[in-house]
Amino acid sequence: MKAVRIHEHGGPEVLRYEEVPLPEPGRGEARIQVEAAGVNFTDIYNRIGLYKLTLPCTLGSEAAGTVDAVGPEVTEVKPGDRVAYAMHLGAYAEYVVVPAWRLVPLPPAIDGRTAAAVILQGMTVHYLTHSTYPLKPGETVLVHAAAGGVGRLLVQVAKRLGARVIGTVSSEEKARLAREAGADEVILYTKEDFEEAVKRATGGRGVDVVYDSVGKTTAEKSLNCLRPRGYLVLFGNASGAAPPIDPLTLMAKGSLYLTRPTLTHYAGNRAELLQRARVVFDWVASEQVKVRIAKTFPLAEAAEAHRALEGRGVAGKILLLP
């Protein structure tokens, strides 16, 4: 079968489209024939070596497709089932073997491409808004990269929960998309100081929570955007890893809270995974949340897909199609 692997860390050019043996499912595992694989910023962190991997390695942490074979002691799925999963490496391939407990059966209303576009980012938005910092009506939230894959979903869900949403983006076109998703105010953080803009928009009070996936270029200023006892939820590193933050800084800036969550720990068992995925698929099926598939690439062009995501020119989800 064909797969996209890396043999060393580096730029998009290290992605190799190559022939590899068809993997066999072991105990508790299932093999999926991949219909679509989601491209996520996590894949870039894996490629550049920000997150540690054993090499060589097939990239990709999210896919949807059909169960093709199961190993011994699999009870969760059977061959022929339509499924999706997140947070297991190997999705940039024609077939992927995944622990069966991680597989979520697809409801009839959800097609494979939509599932591959939403399962990872949708469950992320669910845990960020319902578990890490449960948003309440009337609260004000700052969402960085508000037109991105996670960002657009986050804006939509925060609005549904009754929050006032301030978003940051890098271009006028992305500002339009963030507003279309429901953002009440949008700041072009490449042109304007977002800290000053947030202070202005909140009458100097600050926001209740900042969802910050940009990291290096935003984290310190994000702290300055919070009300006393506000929450900085730092959940990504799109611009690079955030600098270390001294606990005394949290005290000085208003007894603030800082957390650095990952989906791995918020969908760590089958019950929690199925519960989050069910809510996400319900949002999509009932059109409470709209998924924007911005671009698809053939699997062989994974390097182009990475260039598109890193280049900030794409707003929404990128898929790879084997």
Which chain residues interact with ligand NAP by CB under 6 A?
Answer: 40-42, 120-121, 124, 145, 147-151, 169-170, 174, 213-214, 217, 235-239, 261-263, 309-310, 312
309 or 320: whose CB is closer to ligand NAP? 309
- Residue closer to ligand NAP (CB basis): 83 or 308: 308
Among residues 45, 73, 64, the alpha carbon closest in space to that of 114 is found at 64
| Shortest Cβ 205–ligand NAP spacing (Å) | 25
Strand spans (E) along the chain: 2-6, 16-19, 29-39, 57-58, 62-70, 82-86, 95-99, 104-105, 140-143, 164-169, 185-188, 207-212, 226-234, 257-259, 293-298, 317-321
> Between residues 33 and 239, which has the closer beta carbon with respect to ligand NAP?
239
- Residue 71 or 261: which CB sits closer to ligand NAP? 261
Minimum Å gap between C-beta 68 and ligand NAP is 27
Q: Nearest approach, Cβ of 304 to ligand NAP (angstroms)?
A: 16
Give residues with Cβ within 8 angstroms of 28, minimum separation 6: 71, 72, 73, 74, 99, 100, 101
In the bound complex, what is the minimum distance in angstroms from residue 299's beta carbon to ligand NAP?
A: 18
Q: How far apart are CA 297 and CA 285, in angstroms?
A: 25
Q: Is 261 exposed, middle or buried (0-12, 13-18, 19+ CB in 10 A)?
A: middle
Nearer of residues 62 and 76 to ligand NAP, judged by Cβ: 62
Name the token pair of 227: 């009300």
Cβ distance to ligand NAP smaller for residue 50 or 109: 50
CB of residue 191 to ligand NAP, shortest distance in Å: 11
* Burial group, residue 117, by CB count within 10 angstroms (0-12, 13-18, 19+): buried
**CA separation for the pair 119, 113 (Å, rounded):** 10
| Distance, CA of 120 to CA of 63 (rounded, Å) | 9
Considering the complex, what minimum distance in angstroms separates the CB of residue 310 from ligand NAP?
5
End-to-end distance of the chain based on CA atoms, in angstroms?
10
CA 274 centroid distance within chain: 17
CB closer to ligand NAP out of 29 and 237: 237
User: Could you tell me the smallest distance in angstroms from the CB atom of residue 212 to ligand NAP?
Assistant: 9
